[in-house]
Structure 1
Amino acid sequence: MTKIAFGSDHVGFELKPTIIDYVKELGYEIEDLGAYSDKRTDYPIYGKKVGEAVSSGNADLGIVICGTGVGISLAANKVPGIRAACVSEPYSAELSRRHNNSNILAFGSRVVGSELAKMIVKSWLNAKYEGGRHQRRIDELNAEDRKDSKLFNSIVESDNPKYQD
């Protein structure tokens, strides 16, 4: 069963249980990494926790929520191997999985309501990574995570058939 790690700051706290319940209804296992109240806290704590859970393999995917989704996605993206996409509508959520192989979804509780958030989550979870020409970009991002400029440049210049549709 696919396991999804959740995290939010105090602003995303109110929306998080609704989305957790929805994801459970869809048949996924969840792990809530906090925050556990609406007491003021810092989004980097929870973006990092979810990023590390996904990066380590303790979770397959992650969903993070703050006021806009921007701050917590930035925090998650600091973890090597994480491709967190901050979106506010279903189409971008879908394409973030199909083209960017995003492994964390971020959105803002001040930007989207619960019903739109559910639509975003469903689109993201139902989408599958396409590979092909998109793999080159993922490999470039992975080289950047490793801070390996030589590898990055070799991928940029590669005519490897795995990067073709």
Structure 2
Amino acid sequence: MKRIAIGCDHIVTNIKNELRQWLSEKGYDVVDFGTYNSERTHFPIFGKRVAEALQTGEFDYGVVLCGTGVGITNSANKVKGARCVLARDVHTAHAARRDYDANIIGVGGRISGLGLIENIIEEFLSTEFNATEENVFVRDFMNSMIGENANKGEYFEEERNKWKEGCYHD
């Protein structure tokens, strides 16, 4: 059984509660990392909680939502190992899992309706990572950009040198 960490801000608590129940009914083990009511709070807290839950290895996937999905998705991505994607359509959710091994899906509860959000999450959870050599390289490269390696400016040195040498053409 897949374990899912879920979290949101105060703006979309009611939608998160419906999603938690829907996922449980589909057979997932869902743990709610808050918030639990509509009292004003800040989305970064809950995006971070969900992403950190995945770091422990106890969870397979995460679901985060706020009004637009933008803020909570960005906050989740600050945690090493989090590969959170904001999806507003099913195709994006599918590609994020298949090509980038995304492990957290972010949605905007005020942007997308509940039915669409359920379709996005269902596609995300049912899509397997296509572990090609390129996809694994990209995933591992993204993971290396957070934590102790952050802000060193060395990520694209090889690409910058190739650009200067004229290796890239339009």
Assess same fold via TM > 0.5: yes
Identity over the aligned pairs, expressed in percent? 33
Secondary structure at 2:20 match in 1: helix
1:3-152 → structure 2 map (5 Å cutoff): 3-132=3-132, 133-145=134-146, 146-147=148-149
Q: Number of matched residues?
A: 156
Q: CA deviation at 1:46?
A: 0.1
Q: Is contact 1:98–1:127 with CA below 8 Å preserved after alignment?
A: yes
Q: CA deviation at 1:153?
A: 6.5
| Deviant stretches of 4+, over 4 Å | 148-156
Provide the rounded CA distance (Å) in 1 between the counterparts of 2:7 and 2:117.
15
TM-superposition CA deviations, 1:10-68 (whole Å, max 9, x none):
01211001111111122110000100001111000000100100112132210011001
Secondary structure at 2:105 match in 1: strand
Provide the rounded CA distance (Å) in 1 between the counterparts of 2:141 and 2:93.
21
2:64 partner letter? V
RMSD: 1.9
Larger Rg: 2
1:139 partner letter? D
Q: Is contact 1:143–1:151 with CA below 8 Å preserved after alignment?
A: no
Stretches of structure 1 that go unaligned for 5 or more consecutive residues are: 157-165
